[in-house]
Amino acid sequence: TVLLTTFDLETDTQYPHFYIEGGTRYHIGPGPISILWRTFLDYGKPLLVNNHVDEFLKQNVPEFNIMDSVGEPAKCLCVVPIKIKGTPQGVVCLQNVERENAFTESDVNLLETLANSMSVALENVRLFEETQHLLRETEQRTAELQGALADLKERDDLIQKQLDIASTIQRGILPGRIDDWNELKFSIRYIAMEKIGGDFYDVYQLKGNKLGLLMADVSGHGLPAALVTTCLLYTSPSPR
């Protein structure tokens, strides 16, 4: 009989991957870790029982009912733990159901070598699955970030369009040309730091052949400054 089982200690689950006896393979699903395997995991070392297996089990695992086991009772057995980072997380078990004293220390050593190779393979599988899981999480986060960036770009495009409209309106408010007055000629060049700003200017005629010159520069820039400028426009003496 050959048995290979691994354990998930966090969920208290055993996974019988391979169980063959007398040429017949038994397919056993996962389930809670049995008291037999729990006792062996606590023992944590290779075990060779070459005779009186039933008495050994009654003495060391009294809660175990041999009638609950699959297949024929073992005459002798050899069990070796599969350790990952020093913790038993699986077992390789050989049983002989026909005669006692079928195994030697050489069989135990060979089984240990096999178990060590399996432990490396299982750790590699665990690391691969962990890497795949992290990769899937990274891909999911990347997709979420790309979606968020696309949403932000869409909002930014909308804001830029609104700012373009506001800039057009503001430039429509600012005088683009000022008529000559007596011998004075005026030229204008306005360059805002941003699309809209807090600047305002005007030149207009007052009573008594006088000329009014209005220049305003609101502290700051951008939309808040432009709003203040708009309020100033409607409270200033400028005819505009």
**Residue 77 · residue 66 · CB < 8 Å:** no
Q: pTM for this one?
A: 0.54
> Tens digit of pLDDT for each residue in 87-101?
888 999 999 988 999
Dihedral Cα 83, 48, 65, 54, nearest 10 deg: 180
Give the separation between CA 68 and CA 52, rounded to whole angstroms.
Answer: 18
Of 209, 188, 186, residue with least CA distance to 200: 188
- So what's the pLDDT on residue 235? 64
Closest CA to 88 of 29, 47, 40: 40
Is 138 exposed, middle or buried (CB count within 10 Å of its CB: 0-12, 13-18, 19+)? Answer: exposed
Residues 58/59/64/67 CA torsion (nearest 10 deg):
-10
Is beta strand 2-8 parallel, antiparallel or unpaired with respect to 87-96? Answer: antiparallel
Per-residue pLDDT of the chain (240 residues; tens, 9 = 90+): 888 999 988 899 999 888 888 888 888 889 998 888 888 888 889 999 999 888 888 888 877 766 556 678 889 999 999 988 888 889 999 999 889 999 999 999 999 998 988 888 888 888 898 999 999 999 999 999 999 999 999 999 988 887 787 777 777 777 777 788 788 888 887 777 777 766 777 787 788 788 888 777 766 666 666 666 666 666 666 555
pLDDT at 216: 75
Please answer whether residues 7 and 25 qualify as being in contact, where contact means their C-beta atoms are separated by less than 8 angstroms: no
Provide the token pair at 30: 């996962």
pLDDT value, residue 210:
82
Distance in angstroms (rounded) separating the CA atoms of residues 25 and 147: 51
